[in-house]
Structure 1
Amino acid sequence: MTTVTLSVASREDVTRRALSAFKGEQQGAHISFSSVELLWQTMTRKRWELLKVMTGQDAMSIRAAARRVGRDVKTVHGDVHALLDAGILDRTDDGKIVFPFDAVHVDFTLTAVA
């Protein structure tokens, strides 16, 4: 099973993880956001629904994804492009979209504001 971790991480954390990977240390799949606000701005409720129906599935057309979530193709198209721009979805050579993971783990810590 391939799991991706969505996390909030500083540039230093991402750099440290990349350097460790270059040394051959397994890091797992990560998609990092610079803030919790950016994570939630990118991962809206509708976009979570898309990921849910695409997790563990083969590549599909935007129209097929829209059918699976029961939404209009035009609005799903906008959400798909936001997820593509964020590096969460991939596009195949034949133009289909894919979320190449079987599971999603979300990891961040909420701390008190001083």
Structure 2
Amino acid sequence: MNRLMIRVEAEDEWSRRIVQAVERGKPQPPGYSFTTEEDLLDTLTANRFAILKALTGAGPLGVRELARRVGRDVRAVHADAGRLASIGLIDKTSDGKLHFPYDEVRIEMAWHAAA
């Protein structure tokens, strides 16, 4: 299974986790990190989240088909997909289709009481 881990973590936490994984020789699943919960929620709006869900395991899709699957206007889906592609969460194929090469997505966020 090809899983993408989406996390909220500071850059120093991300660096520390990657260095530890390399030192242990333990491969990490593909991942994408946001530095704050607000960044994640501003980027992964409900509509963009629906796009990721529709693309998960679907193979490359054209914008019209994706819009049909999420029940939205083609222009709006095109704009949201463009944003997701610009930050590297989805890919565009050479023929212009949208591709999200994962079968599963996990989102990890945690917070603790203030000290």
Shift of residue 110, structure 1, vs aligned partner: 2.3
Q: Which residue of 2 aligns with 1:8?
A: 8
Q: Which residue of 1 aligns with 2:61?
A: 60
Match of 1:57, as an amino acid? A
1:36-63 C-alpha deviation (Å, 9 max, x unpaired):
0000000111111111111111111111
Shift of residue 82, structure 1, vs aligned partner: 1.3
Aligned equivalents of 1:80 and 1:17: distance in 2? 29
The answer for unaligned runs of 5 or more in structure 2 is none
Secondary structure at the counterpart of residue 13 of structure 1: helix
Q: Which runs of structure 1 show a deviation greater than 3 angstroms over 4 or more consecutive aligned residues?
A: 17-24
Percent of aligned positions with the same letter in both sequences? 38
State whether residues 5 and 104 of structure 1, in contact with CA within 8 Å, keep that contact through their aligned partners in structure 2: yes
State whether residues 42 and 86 of structure 1, in contact with CA within 8 Å, keep that contact through their aligned partners in structure 2: no
Match of 1:2, as an amino acid? N
Residues paired across the two proteins, number: 114
Aligned equivalents of 1:18 and 1:95: distance in 2? 33
Shift of residue 92, structure 1, vs aligned partner: 1.5
Query: What TM-score, normalized by structure 1, do the two folds share?
Result: 0.89
Q: Which moved more, 1:33-42 or 1:84-93?
A: 84-93
**In the alignment, does 2:78 pair up with 1:96?**
no
CA RMSD, 1 decimal: 1.7
Query: What TM-score, normalized by structure 2, do the two folds share?
Result: 0.88
Q: Which residue of 2 aligns with 1:70?
A: 71
